[in-house]
Structure 1
Amino acid sequence: MNAKICFIGAGNMAKSLIGGLIASGYDANNILATDPNQEQRDALSSQFAIQTYANNGEALMHADIIVLAVKPQILRQVCAEISDTVQAGSPLIISVAAGIRTDDINRWLGGELAIVRTMPNTPALIQTGAIGLYANSQVNSEQKSQAEHIMRATGLTLWVEQENQIDVVTALSGSGPAYYFLFMEAMEKAAQDMGLDAKSAHLLTMQTALGAAKMVMESHQDCAELRANVTSPNGTTEKAIQYFETHNLRDTVAGAMNAARNRAQELADELGGEA
């Protein structure tokens, strides 16, 4: 793939994607980035030897693919500023802005554009992300491959067929790292309350989480099977699992994920209105 990619916005997600692309062999000469902050631009230029611009219009003249990597709250304004240039070139648009639907982006940019909406998560910053993707009807097979190639630079990619499924991805992998952080935080605190020192509790919690995730990734068993394998009858693990089940852990998780999905839908309505 040798398309010219222009990143609008030079924050952490853009930096992660650019770093992943270059690490995978993508030509830095084919990557551009824009940002009003000179410090951000200088950091990208210095680290990755890519061209950066303060002006979006100047950079977009060279772009085959545009990655919208700005905050959702300013995406409408950015789209209004670049719509004429985008309409003149009809590039592939990839959005990493959370909560903004493809129809709204398409409308703000003037319509009839190929748009891929993505939902990355924070582990993408260390190339271990889980990224959901949705393509509108204007996206062809080659453009889908291009979008997947770009997003795969930061981790696992998964396409969904219906855009509302991106809200489920948001509730699962988008917000999911925070669920695990909370669970790990609770485990550390409980271990300390039972007499373990803070450093030991932290190290054992981290390694346990890493080991469990690695077993799931590398085994040919699902989570339920792996759990059963380590839950000996009348043993310590069984007592802990019984406590979780008695106190409705599954319902709590489902309720939390529904709350996250519903909020994602509310934000899409708030940020993407006609006004």
Structure 2
Amino acid sequence: MRIALLGSGVMGSAVLASIVAADGVAEVVVTDVRAQVARDVAAAHDGGRSDVAVSGTDDNVAAVTGSDVVVLAVKPQHMGDLLAQVGPAVAPGAVVVSIAAGLTCAYLEAALPDGVAVVRVMPNTPATIGQGVAALSAGSAADETHLDLVERLLTRTGLVVRVPEHQQSIVTAISGSGPAYVFHLIDALAEAGTAGGLPRELALRLAAHTVAGSGAYAVESGTHPALLREAVSSPGGTTLAALAVLDERAVRAAYAAAARAAADRADELSASLAAPSGPRA
């Protein structure tokens, strides 16, 4: 199987690492506007596998031609120009995967030959260390076989789930933007530690590891977070004193409102994007 990865930024590189490790992949062609950057990224992610050829180029059309899977990993504002360039070169039986936020399957399908299977993916930045979340949605011509293929290609990025496309905005709000909320929390806890007299570097380490460990514990235990919270909260203890302040200041409601605002903004951005022009074969 030959795969074209158009875009070698942070998320493109994370996807590349997973693709190279997937079974059945024989060749991966990475592109960037700067050919040397593409070659460097390809060399850094060859996975040491002699059975997978990984190369880099600045020629998007050449990369797409003859590819079984085309992964679009450019920023949303650049997608229209890219699709106009490569759309005619996409084989009718190919699968096109987009990791660009806010772009609907219909937007992509409008610039591709009729019948091309499109799968929309919302990843997040922890995918760069294999601890991310990727939500897949099928376009009008994509079926379970196509979703199975994309899931297999992305499995090394972390958790992969499937959602109807109309749920992509709320997924963006929870897992796409979610790391920023967590980083905000880590920063706040670290600031509290520093204010309490801890060295800044130690406060940051304590905060980051506490959040990472708590998240991992929640995932591994499978226990509802309310029960996990109760297990830490001794009667009349320090944790309940802290939680009382969070409840008094409506922190829980603020997180819910923040996620809703992110989802609404995702809907607005998606609606603002005009469909790319281009003939359909």
TM-score normalized with structure 2 length: 0.91
2:119 is the alignment partner of 1:116: yes
Of 35-44 and 233-242, the range deviating more from structure 2: 35-44
Alpha carbons of structure 1 residues 230 and 18: separation in structure 2 relative to 1, 3 Å = same
Q: Which residue of 126, 129, 134 maps to 1:126?
A: 129
**SS state at 1:131 partner:** strand
2:151 is the alignment partner of 1:154: no
Q: Which residue of 28, 31, 35 maps to 2:28?
A: 31
Q: Percent identity?
A: 33
* CA RMSD after TM alignment: 1.7
How many residues were matched structurally?
Answer: 270
Alignment match, 1:237: 239
Listed one character per residue, the Cα deviations across residues 214-239 of structure 1 (whole Å, up to 9, x for unaligned) are 21111131111100111111111001
Question: For residue 174 of structure 2, what is the amino acid of its counterpart?
Answer: L
Alpha carbons of structure 1 residues 104 and 111: separation in structure 2 relative to 1, 3 Å = farther
Listed one character per residue, the Cα deviations across residues 81-103 of structure 1 (whole Å, up to 9, x for unaligned) are 112112x4331110001110110
Q: Which residue of 137, 140, 143 maps to 2:140?
A: 137
Question: For residue 42 of structure 1, what is the amino acid of its counterpart?
Answer: R
1:79-94 alignment runs, 5 A limit: 79-86=83-90, 88-94=91-97
Alpha carbons of structure 1 residues 191 and 38: separation in structure 2 relative to 1, 3 Å = same
Q: What is the CA distance between 1:273 and its match in structure 2?
A: 4.5
Which 4+ residue blocks in structure 1 deviate beyond 4 angstroms?
24-27
Question: For residue 137 of structure 1, what is the amino acid of its counterpart?
Answer: S
Alignment match, 1:77: 81
Question: Does the 8 Å contact 2:22/2:153 carry over to 1?
Answer: no
Unaligned runs of 5+ in 1: none
Alpha carbons of structure 1 residues 246 and 237: separation in structure 2 relative to 1, 3 Å = same
TM-score normalized with structure 1 length: 0.92
Question: Does the 8 Å contact 1:6/1:33 carry over to 2?
Answer: yes
**SS state at 1:164 partner:** helix
Question: For residue 78 of structure 1, what is the amino acid of its counterpart?
Answer: L
**SS state at 1:177 partner:** helix
Q: What is the CA distance between 1:272 and its match in structure 2?
A: 3.5
Alignment match, 1:95: 98
Give the Cα separation in 1 of the matches to 2:24 and 2:113.
Answer: 30
Question: Does the 8 Å contact 1:100/1:272 carry over to 2?
Answer: no
Question: Does the 8 Å contact 1:44/1:50 carry over to 2?
Answer: no
Question: Does the 8 Å contact 1:101/1:117 carry over to 2?
Answer: yes
Unaligned runs of 5+ in 2: 47-52
